[in-house]
Each structure stands twice: as C-alpha cells, then as structure tokens.
Amino acid sequence: QLLLGGGTPDPDLGDISDQMGAMTRMATFKTRIQSGGRVSVPDAEREALDIREGDIVQTVVVPVKRNRDDD
C-alpha cells in the first residue's frame, strides 16, 4: 500500500526530513524475516517508490501476531 501525505519536517530526522521535503512517500506491507535478518521490499513497492539496490531507506518494524496458519 503506497501512502502519500504532507507534514512538517521533524528536527529529529535531520537530513532525511530535508531530502523528503514537504511530501513524504512510504509503503506498508507484510514480509518475513529471512536468514541473516534480511527483509525484502516487494517489487511493486520498490517500483512505486523508485528505490533500487544500494539505496538507503528508513524502516519501522512492527511485529505481527503469529497465527498457527502462518507457519
């Protein structure tokens, strides 16, 4: 899910806030933690956000409650 929104720059974000400007772009999606702690960003989200291998991104991790069906 691609989200677009405006906001006031947060002084705690420093350069990131400057780079993002008034409009911020973000995607929310579920993914599994892979070996070595790796997390993959799905193709559709990478394309929508125009991010590529080697780009630096900021992440927020929220664990999802486990269900027996997920295993």
User: At 34, is the secondary structure helix, strand, or coil?
Assistant: coil
Provide CB contacts within 8 A for 34, sequence distance 6+.
40
pLDDT of residue 34: 96
pLDDT of residue 27: 86
Domain ranges of the chain: 2-62
- Compute the chain's Rg from CA coordinates: 15
Asked whether 22 and 6 are in contact (CB, 8 A), the reply is: yes
Which amino acid is located at 69 in the chain? D
pLDDT in tens, the chain (71 residues): 545 444 445 555 556 555 555 346 788 899 999 999 999 999 999 999 999 999 999 899 999 988 876 65
pLDDT of residue 71: 56
Report which DSSP code applies to 25. E
pLDDT of residue 22: 36
pLDDT of residue 67: 80
Find residue 23's DSSP bridge partners.
6
